[in-house]
């Protein structure tokens, strides 16, 4: 059984890691989060509740990603999932958030690559429109 934090943490990391939170990313975060919450049979949340969750976690995660614990935080967030269906859905959500702002950011790409590696996926090529 997964908690809300388990499900939303990889998504939040995808938004925060590029250090530029933009409306398209937050819109996609909320869209993907709502779908995953339903998939994992958790209590549905409104967009405003999801935004409040994100705001509550943002400062702590931002600090963690800028410090020595970065890799530990990422590994903990990603290694909770063992079932292929769980991993595929979290990965798809992270990828959707990553490309939603139409901008390539090295750190964000590395996070997606790490997730693919940890979960044993071939990382699909994707292009960002400029």
Q: DSSP label at 123?
A: P
Mean pLDDT of 87-92: 95
DSSP 38-75: HHTTPPP--HHHHHHHHHHHHHHHHHHHTSTTHHHHHH
For the segment 65-77, the average pLDDT, to the nearest whole number, is 89
Distance (Å, whole) CA 24 – CA 30: 10
Choose among 60, 30, 66, 64: nearest CA to 45.
30
| Average pLDDT, integer, range 112-122 | 90
Q: How far apart (Å, rounded) are the C-alpha atoms in residues 11 and 86? A: 13
| pTM (predicted TM-score) | 0.88
Residue bearing the bigger pLDDT, 50 or 129: 50
- Report pLDDT digits (tens) over 9-66: 999 999 998 877 789 999 999 999 999 999 999 999 999 999 999 999 998 888 888 8
Q: Which residue has the tokens 């398209």?
A: 24
Q: Give the mean model confidence (pLDDT) for residues 90-109.
A: 89
User: pLDDT value at position 124?
Assistant: 58
């Amino acid at each position: 059984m997964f908690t809300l934090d388990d499900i939303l943490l990889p998504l939040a990391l995808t938004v925060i890691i590029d250090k530029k939170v933009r409306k398209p990313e937050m819109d996609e975060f909320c869209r993907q989060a709502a779908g995953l919450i339903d998939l994992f049979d958790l209590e549905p949340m409104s967009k405003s509740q999801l935004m409040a969750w994100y705001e509550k976690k943002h400062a702590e995660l931002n600090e963690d990603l800028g410090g020595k614990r970065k890799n530990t935080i990422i590994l903990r967030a990603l290694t909770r999932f063992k079932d292929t269906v769980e991993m595929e859905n979290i990965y798809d959500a992270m990828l959707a958030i990553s490309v939603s702002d139409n901008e390539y950011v090295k750190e964000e790409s590395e996070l997606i690559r790490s997730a693919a590696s940890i979960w044993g996926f071939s990382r699909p090529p994707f292009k960002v429109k400029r």
